Amino acid sequence: MYEFQYHRPASIDEAKKILADNDEAIILAGGMTMLPTMKLRLARPSDLVDLSAIDSLRGIRKDGKTIEIGAMTPHADVAGSSVVQSEIPALADLAGMIGDAQVRNRGTIGGSLSNSDPAADYPAAVLGLNAVIKTDTREIAADDFFKDLFETALGPNEIIQAVRFPKPKRAAYAKFPNPASRYAVVGVMIAETTDGIRAAVTGAGPCAFRATEIEAALAKDFSATALDGLTFDAGDLNDDLHASPEYRAHLVIVMAKRAVAAASV
């Protein structure tokens, strides 16, 4: 690991000033990706700006028919929240599937979304549940947030403050996990929202995306059998030592069926 300066600001304004004064500074949330990357000397930030002391970035709040989760809220808090379990149980279930206990207690929703790892679980939740990402400067719709591999709509030094999830009519998440890391080889969030059916896929492509073919089929018949015979194009899917594009395409349909079945209970 290379030498760096460590900062632990107590406010968003203080964090923004440090970032503005140091061109090579990087925000640290849970550190589940950044710290291993630095240990391998694949990243060399001049400064780490740790957001863990900013109390306003943590917590779960219900507001009418939406739930707002602070960016620095750990996965374990989301999984164990009685509010989330009651209002959006699919989101609590998804959070409980992330990594292991150590990761769930250190990793944060804001860090996960900012990183946009192609195999992360939260992007499927945000996209599938039609959430809104609130930053220090604006609000970004889920459909506009994920751009490509490790690339989002966030601008330089833009900080996620919270994520607002509308309560769906019904939803469920299913994934095929890597047996070692628990990352999603393929994960699918299915949700029936006030605006229609949404099917969000993670693990299969460079970043999370909506499966419009699945959405169209479920809009006609919200049942697992509605996906019988449906095939998914493997052309743009990931190809690595964990799975071929063709296998991932197969898993998209299998996981979608499982999610629909769970949402229908």
What CATH number is given to the structural domain containing 41? 3.30.43.10
Sign of the torsion formed by the C-alpha atoms of 170, 261, 82 and 95: negative
pLDDT at 85: 98
Domain C-terminal end among 53, 70, 95: 53
- The per-residue pLDDT for 144 is 98
Q: Please, which pLDDT band fits residue 1 given cuts at 50, 70 and 90?
A: confident
Domain range spanning residue 248? 170-263
Does residue 235 lie within any of the structural domains? yes
- 29-50 residue pLDDT tens: 999 999 999 999 999 999 999 9
Which pLDDT score is estimated for 61? 97
CATH number at residue 214: 3.30.390.50
Q: How far apart are CA 61 and CA 75, in angstroms?
A: 15
Q: Is residue 193 part of a domain?
A: yes
How large is the average pLDDT for residues 2-30? Answer: 95
Question: Is 17 inside any structural domain?
Answer: yes
3-state helix, strand, coil in the chain (%, to 5): 35, 25, 40
- Residue 183 located in a structural domain: yes
Residue 215 counted as domain residue: yes
Percent of the chain with pLDDT over 90: 99
Residue 102 in any domain: the answer is no
pTM: predicted TM-score of the whole model, two decimal places: 0.95
Number of domains, the chain: 2
Q: Which of 9, 32, 53 is the last residue of a domain?
A: 53
Mean residue pLDDT of the chain comes to 96
Please answer whether residues 73 and 51 qualify as being in contact, where contact means their C-beta atoms are separated by less than 8 angstroms: no
Contacts for 93 with CB less than 8 Å, ≥ 6 apart:
79, 172, 173
d(CA 175, CA 171): 14
* Digit-coded pLDDT (tens) for 103-121: 999 999 999 999 999 999 9
The predicted structure's pLDDT at residue 3 = 94
Residue 74 within any structural domain of the chain: no
Residue pair 219/197 in contact (Cβ under 8 Å)? The answer is yes
- Tens digits of residue pLDDT in 232-257: 999 999 999 999 999 999 999 999 99
- Average pLDDT over every residue of 148-171: 97
Amino acid, res. 37 = T
* pLDDT value of position 265: 86
Average pLDDT, integer, range 136-159: 97
Q: Is residue 62 part of a domain?
A: no
Using CA atoms, how far apart are residues 211 and 200, in angstroms rounded to an integer?
6
